[in-house]
Amino acid sequence: MIKKAITHLKLNHTNKGKKKKLESVATEYMRVTQAYVDFLIQREITEPDKFASIPEQDVPTPLSQRWQRCAWQQACGIVQSWYSNECQNPPVLRNICIQANANVVKLETSRTPTFDYWLRISTMVSGKPVRIPIKLYDRAKETIAEFPKLCTSVTLNELKGEWYVTFVVLCALDSSKRASKFSIDEHNAQTERKTRKPSPKKVVGVDIGMVSIVSTSEGYHYGQISDELRKRVDSSFQKRCRKQKLNACLKRKGKPQVSLSDNRAEAFAQNEIGRALNLMIKELPESAKVATERLSVKDMRFKSRQMNRALRASQLGYVRDKLKFKLDEGGIRYRSVQPAYSSQQCSKCGFTLKMNRRNFSEFLCLFCGYSANADLNAALNIAERFGDDEILKLSFREVETVLAIRFLRRHPVACSATAGPVRDVVQLWLPPD
């Protein structure tokens, strides 16, 4: 059974009265959810139970018991994800996002051709729900016609004054596969099931790069920062420079300025990134855990302007966030690890040196002679750090000292070799004066 989301369904056929009631419920709901998140983090509950008793006395609210239970379950999921990803700053819910179940929000089929569905939403007044009409776009109608089974939960979002709803349909397996592999559980395969995730046995490291979009420790590379994308980024950069000069003139004249964003270039890059990540998720080993990089893209800068434009073309921050979204969507366990010096460390012997990495694509260890693709070597190191809590707690610069100490413990002969053979190799590697 495969789940497929139908997103960006606008609730633009709602009258002002219903919209006002929805906004009042949503505002109170997000306040209560934030209070539950703070409640759990203050008490350091790393594995919250969504079926536990709700702290009603600590968080008084006019919401009904069903709405409070829904907010508590959403808060439990947020806190559990926050702890599992080893985040530092407590989560702050700035945007309205309601993950509702059938107890508070129900999707009803319309009986007239004017609208396709009605969304029945409970309000803070008992027995007086509001019904909001939904009109499907063409692609959503095709999906519903192919997979008519709907999940009971829906997601409501508010963005720039517009309300959107997302709901999920169930995609059944091919009939021949279902007959051969799931003949016993045929009835269960046609209904929505809640089963425990399989216990992961293997860790796959994922390296986000500037040549390949992502590379895994399995030796696969997905997506390329193509020449077409680089050209679009260069063109976008030149347009931005011209717009900045234009804005300077408009500012002096007191006229409104033009936007500096280039949505076409960003959409083109994000489309390529999405295809690469979809293929990677599809080819992951079954029941595997994933180790991702804890990147801080805002601190990454190069001396060359051309390299900085290449950095913008690779959109490392977007890849990082999109990868986590895809893993969450697929129910795949993952953990963000410390990526410091993963591109300079040898995945075989652990020797860490800046000159081990010749360029963006080649890696050659100057101690043991191990040679591999640079992204593959980094992905192997990232997979190795999945359960390394010692490195995870360190800052970027402190990691180098720990890696050096581990290397010397692992290869005691390196204490003397560093002053001899390795030094000679490094001298040969350096360019002539």
Q: What is the pLDDT of residues 314-341, one digit of tens each?
A: 467 778 888 888 888 777 888 888 888 9
Q: How far is CA 222 from CA 113, 212, 333, 363, in A?
A: 45, 6, 20, 19
**Mean pLDDT, range 113-123, rounded to an integer:** 92
Q: Is the pLDDT of residue 422 over 60?
A: no
Q: What is the pLDDT of residue 22?
A: 92
Name the more confident of 197 and 259.
Answer: 259
Q: Is the pLDDT of residue 198 over 90?
A: no
Q: What is the pLDDT of residue 315?
A: 65
Quick: pLDDT tens for 67-115: 999 999 999 989 888 887 667 788 899 889 999 998 999 988 888 889 9
pLDDT classification of 36: cutoffs 50, 70, 90: very high
What are the residue ranges spanned by the domains of the chain? Answer: 2-176, 202-337, 354-429
- Put simply, whether the predicted model's pTM sits higher than 0.75 gets the answer no
Q: What is the pLDDT of residue 309?
A: 44
pLDDT classification of 216: cutoffs 50, 70, 90: very high
Quick: pLDDT tens for 387-419: 888 888 888 788 888 998 888 888 876 665 444
Q: What is the pLDDT of residue 163?
A: 92
Q: Is the pLDDT of residue 291 over 80?
A: yes
Out of 78-87, 135-144, 371-380, 414-423, least confident range = 414-423
What percentage of the chain exceeds 90 in pLDDT? 25
**Mean pLDDT, range 265-289, rounded to an integer:** 84
Q: What is the pLDDT of residue 204?
A: 93
Q: What is the pLDDT of residue 308?
A: 44
- Taking CA 89 as the corner, what is the angle to CA 41 and CA 81, rounded to the nearest 5 degrees? 60
The answer to whether 155 touches 5, Cβ cutoff 8 Å, is no
In the predicted model, what is the mean pLDDT of the chain? 79
Q: Is the pLDDT of residue 355 over 60?
A: yes
**Mean pLDDT, range 213-220, rounded to an integer:** 89
Q: Is the pLDDT of residue 176 over 70?
A: no
Q: Is the pLDDT of residue 261 over 90?
A: no
Q: What are phi and psi of 137, to 5 degrees?
A: -80, 170
Residue 16, classified by CB atoms within 10 Å of its CB into exposed (0-12), middle (13-18) or buried (19+), is exposed
Helix, strand or coil for residue 271?
helix
Q: What is the pLDDT of residue 325?
A: 83
Name the more confident of 164 and 418.
Answer: 164
Q: How far apart are CA 134 and CA 6, in angstroms?
A: 12
Q: What is the pLDDT of residue 171?
A: 65
Q: Which residues contact 336 (CB under 8 A, 6 or more apart)?
A: 85, 86, 292, 293, 294
Joined tokens for residue 405? 């100490």
Q: What is the pLDDT of residue 133?
A: 93
Q: What is the pLDDT of residue 303?
A: 39
Per the document, the length of the chain is 433
Instruction: Rank 182-196, 260-274, 293-307, 331-345 by mean pLDDT and report only the highest.
Output: 331-345
Please name the residue ranges forming H helices in 43-169: 65-84, 138-146
Q: What is the pLDDT of residue 229?
A: 65
